[in-house]
Structures are given as structure tokens and as C-alpha cells.
Structure 1
Amino acid sequence: MNMVNWIRKYPQVILLTLTLLVYGNTLTNKYALDDAIVITENSFVKKGIDGIDDIFSTESFTGFFGFDKKLVAGGRYRPLSIATFAVEYEFFGQNPHISHAINIILYALVVLLIFQVLRKSQLITTDLAFIIALLYALHPIHTEAVANIKGRDEILAFLFVLLAVKWVLYSQKNRLLVYSAAAISMFLAMLSKEHAIAFVVLLPLALYYLKRPRNEIVQTAFTVIIPAALFVFVRYQVLGGMQIEESSSLMNNPFVEMDINERFATILLTWIWYLRILVVPHPLTYDYYPYHVPVTGWENIYPWITVFIALIMLFFAVRSLINRRFYGYWIWFFIGTFLLMSNLFFSVGTFMNERFMFMPSLAFCVALGYGLYWLMQRKAFARAGYAAIILIGVAYSVKAIDRNNDWKDDFTLFTHDVQISENSAKGNCVAGGQLYEKAIDTQNKTKKQKLLKRARTHLKKAIEIHPTYNDAHLLYGNTRFASEEPLDSVMPHYLSILRRASRHQSAWKNALAVLQKGEPEKRLKWYKKLSNIDANRFEINYQMGNIYGKHLNDLKNAETYLKKALQVKPKNVKALKDLSVVYGLTQRYKASATQLEKVVKLKPNDASAWYNLGLSLNALGKIDAAQKSLDKAHELNPQQKRVVIKR
């Protein structure tokens, strides 16, 4: 049996085998990128099955942030894939290998369904259906959806859409049951990812192009409209509506700093980029954040090329509505599955993403498959057609396998892709963060300093691209501190964050931790600057009081700031004790005793407080009370010599 006959006899086996072979190397990968949001640091997922109710009743990232935080316009409601992670956690714990295996299996099912749906259309031969499914299975642009566990939302959405298509188009028996199953499948698709709602139009439209009876088209339309309406209702109940309120953060809305002309010109530039990586999927990157995709205007030729291509596509798509030429459906398919993620109507949080091509890429594979099949049917070009399929298949496979390795873990992904997305603020920031974390865990001092230097290079680049990027400033300050640089090199980065976001807890935590070391005068200078941001923070006032009193012998200022600290935390033992020392040194023994009496009430086993209280009471002439305090101090700390007051 020659190869062609063998392929025709076992097409599904070959598609399944190739898909498993190409993506099999993801099985050893760990968690990466957004897996933290939906799995490893998602409190709902960590509840296992008990967390499913929370998953379906909140915005998709609530389990990570701990509160509803709509990072993109309208928020996200994609509970189904997250629920599958919760079920996995219930039975396997945090096991990325199980999750990767499930993603591969689901992707293989998508490929098999594509083949089955296409070959039963009567407009596509089995050989052509195989070629299209093969191109789809091997195309490297799908690595982001498959190799990144979080990409399961894309896979599930398409899987359930294809099931609905299969049932509606090709199941002739018991139509009521078929339509019910299709409606349920469509609802599950939308629960996986919202843009599956495009098939409310695309599924009836497929019947139109296949020249099915009008009543069948109408029935199918109702079949998909009902679950869509239910999904919109459920989403409204959970998220409170479909308001399109775009984020003001550059990392969640890349167009925030652009005018209207730059915005739409740049959007059209990304569309031509999508076409480029569909045709030549290299290089690939997870990171299309500002400004890997450059801001452009209408003086650039590429937006105009995009407009030209879009108009040509629309012309043929509209024309095909009249003559029902099947090629037109695939133009509508591409438009329908791409438009909601295209940034045209609202920002999706980034310029573009390869996973957004998971559905639209099928239209590209159909076009490429038709072209290759046409060559194969011509005697003069048949060998060229077969050779092209083999070359493309091998090239796709090699690239996909190699790209899967980049998704091994966060460190590998971030440090690799930043070399591609070198002008991305986020890419440089997260790469710097990974290098910083690796440096902190490294014992070898020379290696540690090399890692910190690399981290600073990326973080500096992130700040140059996005000067007010808080995460980059935070990490940059951390790397300088880890390199034991002076306060004047470290603190400006934390201070810049706090001036923009006065409640940034990580910046406060790091700034106050850094200021535990250093020369008293320099520490005091920075505490004063922090005080201008929050004059009522306990730690600032306490440390300033401590420095004035302990290091600068400025008891007046020491008293002022220690009192302010105690206004914030009246029962803080260390502030009460330090203030008592100030009172003692200024011979205000009654005030000193008052503070120390508060201390021993709060902390009865504090031997030093009892001892100092005894000294203050003795200075006040309260001999009996003083002796009792001194005896108590000796009782709590027998190693301290017992003091007997002479009467």
C-alpha cells in the first residue's frame, strides 16, 4: 500500500498521531504565564470542586485578585475552563503534566472534528479535508493555546462550536434532540470564551452557503440564539452588564496614550502582522504589549495595505452572498471569529495575541489547503503540490516542537521572548523579574551579580519605554538593593511609585525594609520624603523618632515623632519604651513612668520595662513601688543582678 492510499484509509489515525507527536514535548513543561492567574494562585481553583460555585458566580480573575477587577473592557466571564482546572486540582493537586496532557487531547479532538465536519460538507473532498486538518494541526501559531495551559479556554470554545456544527449540519435523525445538543454545546462554548458568540451568525450562514432549506436555516438560527441570549443574561447577572469601560493602564489598554488616528492606524498594522505570522509563523512571541508593536500613523503604508486587503475581502464576501460560492463563507468565518478580538470596537488588553488566531486560522488553512490541493490535481504541478505539503508540514512541525520548548516555564519563556519583543515594556519587566528571582536564589556571588546586572538591563529598558511603570520601578529598586547599592540609588524607584500610587503596598513594604539599614542621616532624609506622602504612617514616624533620639541626640524631635507614632498605634510597645527613654533622659520621670506602666500592662513579662519603671519610680521617690518593679525585673530575668534601693 503506497503512502497516499494508507493516508486515505487511516486519516484520523494519522492526524491524531501527528498532533500527539508534535505537542507531546509539552508534557514535561511546567506552569507558565497566565497559569498563575487561573490555576496556581487562584483561590477558587485551590478549593477544588468546592470552588466551582465561586468560579461561575464571579469575574474570571476574581479568584486570583481576591476581588472583581476588570482589567479589560467589559470584564471576562470564562468560567468553564477554570472549572476544569478546579476539578483537576480536586483529583491531582497542582500537576502541570496532567493539565498539559488534557490540553493535547482536547486539541487533537478539535483537529479530528475539523476533519469530520469538512469532509461531510459535500463541497470538500476527503483528501482536501485531510490536508486542511493537517495544516491546522501542525500550524505553530497554535502553540500558545496548547502549550500554555490557560489556553484551554480557546480550545474548549472551538471544540464545543465544532460539536454544534457537526450535529446541526450532519445529524438527520431526531432533529429535536440534535438541536438541543447543539444549543447546549454552543452555551458551553460561550462559557469557555465569549467570542464563540460569533457563531450565532456563522452557523446559520454555513447552512445558507451549503444551500440548505430555509426552514432548516431558521431552526438553526433559533438553536444558537437561545443559548446566546442565556449566556448574555448570565453574564449580565455576574458582571453587571456589558459596559465598555476601557482601562486607563497602558499594560491593560495599549492605546491609552494614542490619539484616534494613531489608534486605528496601529490596529490596522496589527492586522497585517496577524497575516504575516499566519503565512510565516516566525518569530513567535507571547508578548505583543507596548511597544513591541510600534505606534504608527496614516503616513505608514501598512495600514493602507490592510485597508486594501480588507476591502477586497469584503467585496468577495458580499459578492458570494449572491452566488453562494463557498469560498465566501470562509471570508465571513475569518471576519466573524477575528473581529471581537481585533481591538476595532474595544481594547482587548494588548495589541494582539497569537492565541486570538486559534479559530480564524482555520480559514487560512482552508485557503492554503485549497491552493495545495489545486496543485495536486494538476498533472504538471502534482509533484510540486505533494512536495509543498511535505515541506510545509515538516517546517510547521519543527517550529511547533521548538516553540513548545519555550513554554517550559516562566523563566525560559520570558527570557527567550524578550529577545523578540525587545521593545515591550512588559516583556522587559517580567524578564527582569525572573532574573532577579533567580539571582536571589543563587548562592554564588559572582553568578548572582551577573544575573542582577542582566535583570537591571531589562528593567531599565522597561522604564525607558514606560517611565511610569510601577512594576518595573519596584523590581529595579529591588535589584539595586540586592546589589548593596546606596540608598540614593535604591529609594528613588520606590518613591516614584508612591508619588503616583500612595497606597501601593509592595512599594511601602520594600521602601521601609530597605531603610532599616544605612547611615542614620541618609535614612532620615528618605523617611522625610516618605512622610510627605503619608505623614500618618506609624513606621515612618517611629523610625524618625528613633533616629533623632538614638543617633542624633535630638530629643525634642525624637519626642515629636514618637508621639505621632503612638497616635497611630497607641499600644505599640517599642514606641512606648522609646518615648519613656526620651522622658527619662530629659528628667521627666513621671511621664517616663506613665509610658512604662502602659508597657508592663501590655507586656507583663518584659523584664527591661519593669527595670526601667523601677528606676523612674525611684527617681520620683516612690521607693516601695520602685523596689517591687526592680524585684519583678529580677524575677523575670534572674541573670540580671538584683537591685536593692537604699532607704
Structure 2
Amino acid sequence: MKFPNWVQKYSQAILFILTLLIYANTLTNEYALDDAIVITENNYVKQGIEGIDDILSTESFTGFFGFDKQLVAGGRYRPLSIATFALEHEFFGQNPFISHLINILLYAFVVVLIFQVLQKSSRVATEAAFIIALLYALHPIHTEAVANIKGRDEILAFLFVLLAAKWLLYSQKNKFLVYSAAAISMFLAMLSKEHAIAFVVLLPLCLYYLKRPKSELIRAGLATLIPAALFILIRYQVLGGMQIQESSALMNNPFVDMTTGEKYATILLTWLWYLRLLIVPHPLTYDYYPYHVPITGWDSIYPWLTLIIVIALLFFAVKTLINRKFYGFWVWFFIGTFILMSNLFFPIGTFMNERFMFMPSLSFSVALGYGIHWLLKQKTYTRAGFAVLIIVGLAYSVKAIDRNRDWKNDFTLFTHDVQISENSAKGNCLAGGQLYEKAIEQSNTSQKQDLLQLARKYLEKAIDIHPTYNDAHLLYGNTLFASDEPLNEVMPHYLSILNRAPRHQSAWKNALAVLQKGKPKNRLQWYKKLNSIDSTRFEINYQMGNIYGKHLNDLKKAEKYLKRAIQIKPGSIKALKDLAVVYGLTRRYKASVSQLRKVVKLKPEDASAWYNLGLSLNAMKQIDEAQKALDKAHELNPEQKRVVIRK
């Protein structure tokens, strides 16, 4: 069976246009998920071209956190995609339309390159290459990489790998030029995402399966190995080596609380989930964090089933190494592009992610495409082949278009996917956070309370799944406070964070803000607990001194904490004034005058300080100076009645 001439003639244009159409509805989407880390809240990206030097010379998350915070094992060095975001910011500002458009165009080029590489390999018929590229273009598992702007690292890495493959397949002419172009493409691929380094082996292996001469294999090996060595050297200079230190935080290492047996059984379960999503890509979710994927042991059938499949595929792949049957290469392609993201050798920060199938899924498309092409070649099965192609193509297209809508923005994505990943601590936390933010924006009291109630539901679930999840406790405390719950309900959540992470700035900020309200004695109780965690904070000492003096009339303790507050922050006007009041009430006027003189020196326009200074000087019988101070107070605040001291 041959496709109509117009399909063969315009194959590349058809693939390109169809890809654009499938993802056209992402053009109205906003930023979502990790776009904050690499775009909207990345300080280097927001500098435009000036920030590119920092992007190239630091860990990939540094522009967001402000320091090298290697959240996941080994750190991340993917400067190329982040540099493209900086260029976009330079010329277009923060413009999600432009970013989405570029992602779509790059993906369309990837699809066309897949067709070209398969076609030029001389082992794949043009019709089969078209079907494979079409299935790859339409597969919904790619929506995370394409619809989420941050996924450009995946797209660029594969784009440059395919360019390198294309150059190597054309290596018969202008050998120096094509091998140089292949080497440059490989280097750019690794700068986009590290796991492109797998093609140091896969590209020469591909030529081996294509039965190219040994001299060509050696040259191809050098064309991939040299840029890989250069990349590793640069990465070493930036990150300080390839040390893999596993995180102890559950959200960055989902296996942290598992036994070794549970860890590897659960990893094998995720591999089976990947296979299921390749065959039936539904439901899709961004969130495979603990414990959407359940902890699994070897008493489950699924790890054993995965092992059987893996052993069978490895046996098949090894066998094809001998007879050099090209279809065997695609098993190695899947293994090579997947193994570094599989959690087998080091934790990647989550159980799994759909974007990790961006490259490996080509092997599935090849298998499915070959199957459909075989049906089309059989006279008795031609209709069946067309039926399968149409049904699969339509199902993929509908699912991909529908899934693109979920990536509209954080609110849409998080509140939708939490219905799928209902046992994920992160998913529940992020959904609760979005609902909290939406509630704060509401002017309608009833709608606000409904949103807060729903936010609390998700945040409670997050804490139930992961009791020491700081982000969830922080948001839950915020939500309770916004719901006008008492301090005794709100504060335990901030306190639980600070007991685990005494330097958690958001928890400190929110706890101290919340304690501005409430009954003095209750507030004091929580200030004492905060003080036991960190006694060097000015605001805690000041507020304790203020409460003891103003509300509880315990001037001795008021003096103690106000003095400590001033030691921490010597220029604090409010602490100096309050301590002066304590001295005045205890008739230590000389000490009161000393504090108030500091105040008026720091803030000469403070009428109340001048007034109190006048009263203290008067109590010390320094009448002339007292009158001058009182006159100054009246001058600064004419509304205050002028006081004249009788001599």
C-alpha cells in the first residue's frame, strides 16, 4: 500500500501543520507550574541578555532561589533553554504567547526531523516514517513538555540530538563539516538537558545497526564523545563535580522513608505505569509525587511483571546486536533515553513524570507505527490498518487538545489534577494554595469562605499524607487565619515548621504577622514559644516587652525584653520610646531622658518623643530644657495643646 502522491509529496508540511493545529490552543495559556523557576521569578531571566552570563555560569535553579540550591541529586545544569527565555524577555518582556508559540514551533520541527531521520536511515519506508512521526506528534504524553513552557529543555535536547543524527546519516560527503555539525548539535543538546549524553552511545549504536563501516562508527563516536567531555568539564566547573547527594526531603526524594525493597519495587511499578500511559495515555497529570504512586513491596505482582517485561526486552535487544536487525535498536533507544530518568541509579526528585517520556516514547511510536504499516501492506488487512490509524490518531488528538486546556494556568492545572492525583501531598498542597489565593482576592464574603473551606480540605489532606510538610502547614496556617480562626488553631502550624526549620523565613514572617491580633495574654504565650526557638529576633523581644508593660503592668519584665530588643536593633524608635516609658513609670527619669534623647536625635520630627522628654525633664526639675522640649512638641504638632511650666 502506498499513500496518495500528495501525502508523500507534502509529508513534512502535513506533519508540521498538524502539530501546530494540535497545540494551537496552548497559545492562550498563561505561565504554569515550574515556569516560575525558569521564567517569571528567575532573576537572571528578567535581566534579559545581561543575565545570560549568570545563566551559563550557575546551577539552573540559582536564578530563582538566589543561591545554589541543589534540590535534587547531582544538581541541574541546563542553561540553553533558560538562556532562550532571557532572550525572549529582552525583546518581548514576559509574554506567554510568544513562549508557547516558540515551544509549538520547536516541537513541530522535532516531528519533521523524526520523519527525516527515519526516512534517511534507509531502513524505514517513507510511509512508515510518516506514520511513526504522525503518531509521535499526536501522542498526548507529550503535552507536559510542550504545553508547559519550562518543558523547552526536553524539546531542545531532542531537537539537537535529531540534528546530530541527521548529520551523521549524511556523513558520506563533506565529512569534516558534517561531523563538526553533529558535534556542535550534541553539545547544544546536552546544554539543553543533561540526559542527552545517552546519545554518546546511542548514535554510534544506531550506525552499527545500520551496518555502517567501522571507520564511520569511530568518527561518529568522536563526534559525540568530544562534546560530551567538554560538557562534563564545564558542568564540573559550574557545579563542582558529579557528586550525587540524596535529599532527605520527601518532596525531593520520594523514597526517603522506604526500605530498600520497597524502593526498588516501587520504581518497577512506575516503569509499568509509563508503559500503560504510552498505550493508554489517560488520565494524565503533572503530579506523581508521594503518594499518588503508592509504596509497593515485592508481595505485589506488578514489580515481578515489570521484571519479566524488562528481561524479555533485554534478551531481545542483546540478540539483535548479533544479527544487527534495525528494529532491535529501538529497544536500546528506549533504555538509553529512559534509564537516567528512571530513579534506578539516583533519585530524580519525583516518582515519575510524563515529560520523561518525551524521547523514549519515540520507540513506542516506532513499534506502533511499524504495526500499522504492516497491516496497511497486507491486502486483507488494509482497511483494518487504516481504521487503527484513524482511531488512534483521533483519540490522541482529542486527548492532547483537551489536556492542553488543563495547562491554562496554575489554578486550572492544580485544581484539575488534584482530582487525579488525590493521594499526592504536593498536589493537595498546591491546589489548596491556589484556592487560598483565589479566596483572598474575593470581595464576596460567602464566596471567600467557600473557597477557604475547600482550600482547608486539600491542605488537611496534604498534611495527613505528609505530616511534616512545611509548605502545607504554612498554607494551612494562612487559610485558618483568613477564616478568622483563633490563634490557638493557627499558630501550631507555623510553630511546627519552625521547630523543624528554625530559619524558615516565610513561617517567621507569617507567625509574627498573625500575632499582631488577639488577646495580649494569648499572644504572649506564643511569643514565648517563638522566643524559645530564636531569642535573637527583635520583633519577638519588642512585642513581649510591649505586652508586659502596656497590658500586664509587669514593668520589670517589660524592661528586660525591651532592653534585649534594643541590643538587637539599637536604632528602633518604638523600642527606645517604650523603654523610656518604663523608666518614667518607675521614676527613673534620668534613664528615661537618655532614651528619649536618642529618639529625637534619630527622629527629630517625633512630637510625642519631644513631649515625653519635656515631661521627664520637668520631673527632674530641669525646667528650661523641659519647656524647650514641650514647645518643640507643640511646634511639630500644633493640634496638641501647648504646655507651659510654672516656675
Q: For residue 169 of structure 2, what is the aligned residue in structure 1?
A: 169
| CA drift at 1:171 | 4.1
- Of 557-566 and 493-502, deviating more is 557-566
1:82-106: per-residue Cα shift (whole Å, max 9, x none)?
Answer: 0111111111000000010000000
Partner AA of 1:150 in structure 2? K
Q: For residue 211 of structure 1, what is the aligned residue in structure 2?
A: 211
Q: For residue 293 of structure 2, what is the aligned residue in structure 1?
A: 293
Partner AA of 1:294 in structure 2? P
| CA drift at 1:431 | 0.7
CA distance in 2 between partners of 1:116 and 1:627 (Å)? 93
Q: SS in structure 1 opposite 2:379?
A: coil
Q: For residue 472 of structure 1, what is the aligned residue in structure 2?
A: 472
Counting only pairs closer than 5 Å after superposition, residues 43-54 of structure 1 correspond to structure 2 as: 43-54=43-54
Q: For residue 447 of structure 2, what is the aligned residue in structure 1?
A: 447
Q: For residue 456 of structure 1, what is the aligned residue in structure 2?
A: 456
Q: Is the 8 A contact 2:3 2:127 kept in 1?
A: no
Unaligned runs of 5+ residues in structure 1 are: none
Q: For residue 552 of structure 1, what is the aligned residue in structure 2?
A: 552
Q: For residue 569 of structure 1, what is the aligned residue in structure 2?
A: 569
Partner AA of 1:93 in structure 2? G
Q: For residue 610 of structure 2, what is the aligned residue in structure 1?
A: 610
Q: For residue 330 of structure 2, what is the aligned residue in structure 1?
A: 330
Structure 1 residue 348 corresponds to structure 2 residue 359: no
Q: SS in structure 2 opposite 1:477?
A: helix
| CA drift at 1:143 | 0.3
1:378-428: per-residue Cα shift (whole Å, max 9, x none)?
Answer: 222211111000000000000000000000001000100011001111111
Q: For residue 85 of structure 1, what is the aligned residue in structure 2?
A: 85
Q: For residue 232 of structure 1, what is the aligned residue in structure 2?
A: 232
1:154-177: per-residue Cα shift (whole Å, max 9, x none)?
Answer: 000000000110111124221110
Q: For residue 252 of structure 2, what is the aligned residue in structure 1?
A: 252
CA distance in 2 between partners of 1:232 and 1:614 (Å)? 72
Structure 1 residue 385 corresponds to structure 2 residue 385: yes
Partner AA of 1:479 in structure 2? T
Counting only pairs closer than 5 Å after superposition, residues 298-377 of structure 1 correspond to structure 2 as: 298-377=298-377
| CA drift at 1:120 | 1.6
Partner AA of 2:634 in structure 1? H
| CA drift at 1:12 | 1.2
| Paired-residue identity, % | 77
Partner AA of 1:323 in structure 2? N
Partner AA of 2:422 in structure 1? E
| CA drift at 1:376 | 1.4
Counting only pairs closer than 5 Å after superposition, residues 132-281 of structure 1 correspond to structure 2 as: 132-281=132-281
Q: For residue 510 of structure 1, what is the aligned residue in structure 2?
A: 510
CA distance in 1 between partners of 2:226 and 2:582 (Å)? 76
Partner AA of 2:169 in structure 1? L
- Of 126-135 and 528-537, deviating more is 528-537
Partner AA of 2:364 in structure 1? F
Q: SS in structure 2 opposite 1:286?
A: coil
Q: For residue 623 of structure 2, what is the aligned residue in structure 1?
A: 623
Partner AA of 2:17 in structure 1? T
Partner AA of 2:526 in structure 1? W
| CA drift at 1:186 | 0.4
| CA drift at 1:605 | 1.2
1:227-265: per-residue Cα shift (whole Å, max 9, x none)?
Answer: 000000010011110001111111111111111111111
Q: SS in structure 1 opposite 2:123?
A: coil
CA distance in 2 between partners of 1:65 and 1:263 (Å)? 30
Q: For residue 484 of structure 2, what is the aligned residue in structure 1?
A: 484
CA distance in 2 between partners of 1:536 and 1:154 (Å)? 46
1:530-584: per-residue Cα shift (whole Å, max 9, x none)?
Answer: 1111122111111111111111122222122212211211221111111111111
Partner AA of 2:593 in structure 1? A
| CA drift at 1:121 | 1.6
CA distance in 2 between partners of 1:280 and 1:3 (Å)? 27
| CA drift at 1:9 | 2.7
Q: Is the 8 A contact 2:113 2:163 kept in 1?
A: yes
Structure 1 residue 123 corresponds to structure 2 residue 123: yes
CA distance in 2 between partners of 1:453 and 1:3 (Å)? 58
| CA drift at 1:8 | 2.3
Normalized against structure 2, the TM-score is what? 0.99
Q: For residue 282 of structure 2, what is the aligned residue in structure 1?
A: 282
How many equivalent pairs are there? 646
CA distance in 1 between partners of 2:571 and 2:372 (Å)? 80
CA distance in 2 between partners of 1:3 and 1:456 (Å)? 57
CA distance in 2 between partners of 1:408 and 1:644 (Å)? 69
Structure 1 residue 597 corresponds to structure 2 residue 592: no
**After TM superposition, where is structure 1 displaced by more than 4 Å over at least 4 residues in a row?**
none
| CA drift at 1:3 | 7.2
Q: For residue 634 of structure 2, what is the aligned residue in structure 1?
A: 634
CA distance in 2 between partners of 1:139 and 1:171 (Å)? 31
Q: Is the 8 A contact 2:163 2:182 kept in 1?
A: yes
Partner AA of 1:253 in structure 2? N
CA distance in 1 between partners of 2:254 and 2:225 (Å)? 33
CA distance in 2 between partners of 1:641 and 1:134 (Å)? 86
User: Residues 585 and 459 (structure 1 numbering): CA distance in 2 closer, same or farther, change over 3 Å?
Assistant: same
Q: SS in structure 1 opposite 2:533?
A: coil
Partner AA of 1:73 in structure 2? A
CA distance in 2 between partners of 1:536 and 1:151 (Å)? 43
Unaligned runs of 5+ residues in structure 2 are: none
CA distance in 1 between partners of 2:556 and 2:174 (Å)? 91
Q: SS in structure 2 opposite 1:426?
A: helix
Partner AA of 1:268 in structure 2? L
CA distance in 1 between partners of 2:314 and 2:294 (Å)? 27
Q: For residue 58 of structure 1, what is the aligned residue in structure 2?
A: 58
